[in-house]
Amino acid sequence: MPVEVSSVQCGDCGEELPENPSLPITERTPCPMCGSLGRTTKVSFHETSATKSKLGAKGRHVCGGKPFVEEVSGDDLHMENCRWMKLTRVIDREKNLYQESVVDPTTGEVVHECKEPLSKHQNHGNAKKRLKEKDAGG
Ligand SMILES: [Zn+2]
């Protein structure tokens, strides 16, 4: 089971802050070092069952909201030939782009490549998404 570890840092000076990553911006306290409310959230996945690990990085606008670019790169074990492949996945929400490539590190050969609109990819069915309904008001 991979363990997800999150840490919060000041988006301005990089000071590590003992703050919950999911805390709304309205409940944040200014950074003790520089007074900034900007935050950088680092999420890393620690694979406990294997020596190989996958690292994920998410970029967020400082004002909060969904990550606009999601990039995953790391080693991916392919069951069919029991070999570790180099996996690179980019999810760009601003450009509505989903890109995935798997490269054999020993030969440099691209064994799998996928590039499509993000909206199309999410229709595949296994993309879990939590939707919050919001009152339109008025
Ligand atoms: Zn700071």
* Domain of residue 115, residue span: 68-128
Is 123 among the domain residues? yes
pLDDT of residue 133: 47
Give the distance (Å) from ligand 1 centre to CA of residue 3. Answer: 28
Question: For the chain, what is the domain count?
Answer: 1
CA-nearest of 81, 121, 124, 132 to 102 is 81
Give the distance (Å) from ligand 1 centre to CA of residue 68. Answer: 23
Give the distance (Å) from ligand 1 centre to CA of residue 25. Answer: 15
Is 85 among the domain residues? yes
pLDDT of residue 100: 87
pLDDT of residue 27: 87
Is 100 among the domain residues? yes
pLDDT tens-digit profile of 1-34? 556 667 889 989 999 998 887 888 788 899 999 9
The amino acid occupying position 119 is: S
Give the distance (Å) from ligand 1 centre to CA of residue 93. Answer: 27
Strand pairing class (3-10; 16-17): antiparallel
CA-nearest of 127, 75, 74 to 98 is 127
Is 63 among the domain residues? no
pLDDT tens-digit profile of 43-71? 766 555 544 555 555 655 555 555 566 66
pLDDT of residue 76: 67
- The residues, ordered by sequence, that sit 6+ positions from 72 with a Cβ below 8 Å of its Cβ are 54, 55, 56, 57, 87, 88, 89, 90
What CA–CA distance (Å, rounded) separates 109 from 92? 24
- The residues, ordered by sequence, that sit 6+ positions from 26 with a Cβ below 8 Å of its Cβ are none
Is 36 among the domain residues? no
Is 34 among the domain residues? no
Q: Within 10 Å of residue 58's Cβ, how many Cβ atoms?
A: 17
pLDDT tens-digit profile of 101-120? 888 888 888 888 988 888 87
Is 101 among the domain residues? yes
Is 1 among the domain residues? no
Give the distance (Å) from ligand 1 centre to CA of residue 44. Answer: 22
